[in-house]
Amino acid sequence: MTSDDYELRAGTPEDFDQINDLLTIAFAEEFDDDAVELERSVFEPERAALVVHGDALVGVSASYTRNLTVPGGTVPSAHVTMVGVEATHRRRGLLTRMMGRLFDDARRLGEPVAHLWASEGKIYQRYGYGLAAPRLTFDADREVQLREVPADPGRLRPMALADAEADLRKVYEQAQPDRPGWSSRDDRWWHRILADPKSWRGGATALRVLVHETAGVIDGYALWRVRGDEPGAVIVREVVATDPVAYRALWHFLLNVDLTRRARFRFAATDEPLIYLVNEPNMLNAKLGEALWVRLVDVPAALAARRYPVPVDVVLRTEDPMLPDNSGSWHLVGGPDRASCTRTDRPADLDCDLGALGAAYLGGASLGTLAASGRVRELTPGTLSGVDAAFRWHRAPAATEIF
Ligand SMILES: CC(=O)SCCNC(=O)CCNC(=O)[C@H](O)C(C)(C)COP(=O)(O)OP(=O)(O)OC[C@H]1O[C@@H](n2cnc3c(N)ncnc32)[C@H](O)[C@@H]1OP(=O)(O)O
C-alpha cells in the first residue's frame, strides 16, 4: 500500500456519522444519542481533514472556530479536536498529513495559533506543539476547609440548569479576559456546555448550578454534581467568579456538601486561588497534569497578537520544518499596549525551539526554565531574564473545558 492509496479531503455534514463511528472505536468510548447530537451541533465539516481509503474513512481530524484568551487579548485559534486514525492504518503518516492540512486551513482562516488537549503528549510535540497550560487535579479530603470564612454581604442560591445560560455567560465573559487559555463560547458552545447527557455524567447526578449574588448582581457560579458512591464525592465542573468573596463562598459550599467526603476538580489552574485559601493545601491532593498544547502556526502574527507586561525588544530565532516560512529571525517589539513582530537579518538574541515558544506563549512556561531545559539558548548574554519577564503574565494559563 502506498501513500497514493489515500485521499485527503475536507468533510461534509454527511460524514459525521462515519467520523463518529471511527472515533468511538479509536477512543474506546461509547456515548448516548444526546451526546452524539451535541457533538454534531458543534462540528464544522469544512474544517475537518479526512483521510479516505477506497470507500472507507480511515482518518479524521477537525477544528473548531473559537477565540483563545492570550496575555492581554484574544486570538483566533484553531481548536483542534476529534483526531483518530483507524487502527489498521496507523503509523503510515496519516496524522502527519492531516496536521499539515489543518495548519494550512488555520492560516487561510487567519488563525495564527492552533491548540489542543492531547490524549498523549508524545503525539503532538513532533508537530511543534508545546505544553502551554499544565493543570492541577484536586481530590480534596473533607478535612480541607477554608482557613477563614469572612462575612459575606452576598448570598448563594441554586439555579435551574435550564434557566442558567444568560447569567453564567455574563460572569464567564467578565472573567475570561483575565485567564489565558480560556475559550470563547458562542450560543452553540453554551448549549453544549450546559447540556447534560447521561453518558457524560460518569455515574454522578445531573449537573447542578450554584450562583453567588451580591446586591442583586451575580458575580460567580459553580457547576457541580455529586457521585454517591462510598464515600460520596462532589464533582466540581467549573467555578467562575469575578470577585474573590464570591469565589470563596462557592468553594466553602463545595467543600461542605452533606453526605460527601471528597471534592474533585479536574480543571484547577497551577495558581488556583483555592490553594492559598485552605487550611491544608497538601490535602487537596493536587496532581499535576496537562491541559493545553499550543502551536504557533504563524509565528510573527502570533507573537504580535499578545501583549507583554513589560517592554520587550528582542530578536528571536526559531526553526519550523513543517511550515518553513516560520523559520528565521524575528524582531519582536512589545509592551502592555501593543506589539509588532517582523522578519529581520539582525543577529538573534535568543534561539528558541518552536515548541518552547508555544509553551511560553500563554505566559505559563518561563523562558528561563525552558533555557534550563536547553530548549531556549541565550545568544546575547544578559537578554534572557528581561525577555522572560516580558513573556510572563500575572495569571497562570488554564483551561476550563475539554473540547
Ligand atoms: C486532539 C485530539 O483529538 S487527541 C486524540 C488523539 N487520538 C488518539 O489518541 C486515538 C488513538 N490513536 C490514533 O488514532 C492514532 O494512533 C493517532 C491519531 C494518535 C496517530 O495517527 P497515525 O496516523 O498513526 O500517526 P502518524 O503515522 O502520522 O505518526 C507520525 C509519527 O508520530 C508517531 N506517533 C503517532 N502516534 C503515536 C503515539 N500514540 N505514540 C508514539 N508515537 C506516535 C509515529 O510513530 C510517527 O513517527 P515517525 O514520524 O518517527 O515515523
- Using CA atoms, how far residue 69 sits from 66, 326, 387, in Å, is 10, 22, 21
390 lines ligand 1 (CB under 6 A): no
Give the pLDDT score at 2.
Answer: 62
| Grid cell of 319 as nine digits | 526553526
* Residue among 6, 22, 82, 85 to mutate when testing ligand 1 (max atoms within 8 A of CB): 85
- How far apart (Å, rounded) are the C-alpha atoms in residues 190 and 194? 6
Q: Give 69-131 as a DSSP string.
A: EETTEEEEEEEEEEEEE-GGGTTSSHHHHHHHHHHHHHHHTT--EEEE--SSHHHHGGGT-EE
pLDDT < 70 regions, the chain: 1-3
Enumerate the H helices of 255-366 as residue ranges.
299-305, 354-361
Instruction: Report which protein residue has its CA nearest ligand 1's atom 43.
Output: 123
Residue nearest to atom 11 of ligand 1 (CA): 26
Which residues are within 8 A (CB) of 282 and not within 5 positions of it... i.e. 6 or more apart?
none
113 pairs with which residues across the strands? 77, 296
Residue 90, ligand 1, Cβ within 6 A: yes
From the CA atom positions of the chain, what is the Rg in Å?
22
Phi and psi at residue 316, to the nearest 5°: -110, 140
Q: Which residues pair with 213 in a beta bridge?
A: 155, 218
Long-range contacts of 386-389 (CB under 8 A, 24+ apart): 386/310, 386/312, 386/314, 387/312, 387/314, 387/349, 387/350, 389/309, 389/310
Cα gap 175→190, rounded to integer Å? 15
Q: 362 and 292 in contact (C-beta within 8 Å)?
A: yes
What pTM was computed for the model?
A: 0.97
For the chain, domains (ranges, CATH) are 3-111 (3.40.630.30), 145-279 (3.40.630.30), 296-391 (3.30.1050.10)
The total number of residues shown for the chain amounts to: 403
**Where do the H-state alpha helices sit in 176-284?**
187-194, 244-254
- Give the pLDDT score at 4: 72
Kindly list the strands in the beta sheet with 312-318, ordered across the sheet, starting from the edge strand earlier in the chain.
Answer: 339-343, 328-334, 312-318, 350-352, 376-378
- Confirm or reject: Cβ of 273 under 6 Å from ligand 1: no
Ligand 1 binding pocket includes 96 (Cβ within 6 Å)? yes
Mutate to test the pocket of ligand 1, among 81, 83, 129 (most ligand atoms within 8 A of CB): 83
Distance between CA atoms of 156 and 221, rounded to whole angstroms?
A: 9
**Residues near 378 by beta carbon (within 8 Å), at least 6 away in sequence:** 349, 350, 371, 384
**Per-residue model confidence (pLDDT) at position 3:** 65
In angstroms, rounded to a whole number, what is the distance separating the alpha carbons of residues 155 and 212?
Answer: 6
Check pocket membership of 92 for ligand 1, CB cut-off 6 A. Answer: yes
- DSSP assignment, residue 207? -
Tens digits of residue pLDDT in 108-146: 999 999 999 999 999 999 999 999 999 999 999 999 999
Strands (E), 173-260: 208-214, 217-227, 233-241
From the alpha carbon of 85, which atom of ligand 1 is closest?
14
Q: Which amino acid is at 63?
A: S
Cis before 231? omega within 30? yes
Place of cell 486570538: 75
115 alpha carbon to ligand 1 midpoint, in Å? 16
Catalytic-residue membership of 403: yes
Q: What is the CA(235)–ligand 1 centre distance, in A?
A: 31
Q: How far apart are the first and last CA of the chain?
A: 34
Let me know if 349 is exposed, middle or buried by CB neighbors in 10 A (0-12, 13-18, 19+): buried
